[in-house]
Amino acid sequence: MRDKPFGAALLDVARQTLLQDIEPGLEGGRRYAVLMVANAMGIVGREIEQQSQVERAWREALSRVAEDGADLDVSAARLVRAIRDGEHDADAALHGALRATAKVAAGIWKPSLAEARGAAEATPPGPTQSGST
């Protein structure tokens, strides 16, 4: 059994080769282009690796409005309409599910930002200030 999806691992090796062997010798516009391609390769690799988390998060969110056997695109369109119509304003479960989809997406598109926010959320608040001395 493989630790990572094969396509993601292959993209990672190609990306590392690009960044370590090619990018250091470039300047200006060519360097920028290589960095842009490397960034895109990283995003695609993370999408491949996290595909099941993306699907799970969206399935949870869409289950709030999906009809049995409904296509996910149809359910997504229904969810958008329902949110716009205010039908789920007080739906804490849906809010949580949508937040989960946003966290998964952040981990794919901006992993450093997602890690920083995750660390901030995991850090307990400091001692509370009390009036006593």
Predicted structure pTM score: 0.64
The conformation of residue 19, written as its DSSP 8-state character, comes to: I
Q: What is the pLDDT along the chain (133 residues), one digit of tens a residue?
A: 455 568 888 999 999 999 999 999 999 999 999 999 999 999 999 989 888 888 888 888 887 776 665 666 677 888 888 889 998 888 888 888 888 888 888 889 888 876 766 666 655 555 544 444 4
Q: How far is CA 98 from the centre of its chain?
A: 12
Q: How far apart are CA 100 and CA 97, in angstroms?
A: 5
List of E strands, the chain? none
What's the pLDDT score for residue 132?
44
The pLDDT, as a whole number, for residue 101 is 87
Which amino acid would we find at residue 46? R
